[in-house]
Amino acid sequence: MNEYLVIYEEENGSWGAWCPDVDCVFAAGKSREEVESLMKEALEGYFSYLRETGEKIPEPTFSEAGLVAA
């Protein structure tokens, strides 16, 4: 099982998530916890679809992320 970088963003009390390696998968919700769960389901569902249709599952390109104060 691969691990994919997911970016979580909060704005005006709502949360969103997206994955740089998988352009068409994203999630939105009212809390970070909800979005984490939805994003996991969305990625798993999309990868299942790709396997069923014989398409290639994208490889993760990010191995680590961090924050930089500037």
- What are 12-37's pLDDT values in tens digits? 999 999 999 999 999 999 999 999 99
Amino acid residing at 35: V
Q: Whose CA is closest to 26, among 35, 34, 59?
A: 35
pTM greater than 0.75 (yes/no) = yes
pLDDT band at 58 (very low <50, low <70, confident <90, very high): very high
Question: pLDDT higher for 66 or 11?
Answer: 11
Q: Are 26 and 17 in contact (CB under 8 A)?
A: yes
Q: Are 4 and 21 in contact (CB under 8 A)?
A: yes
| CA pair distance 35, 56, nearest whole angstrom | 25
pLDDT at site 47 = 97
Two tokens, residue 62: 């990010």
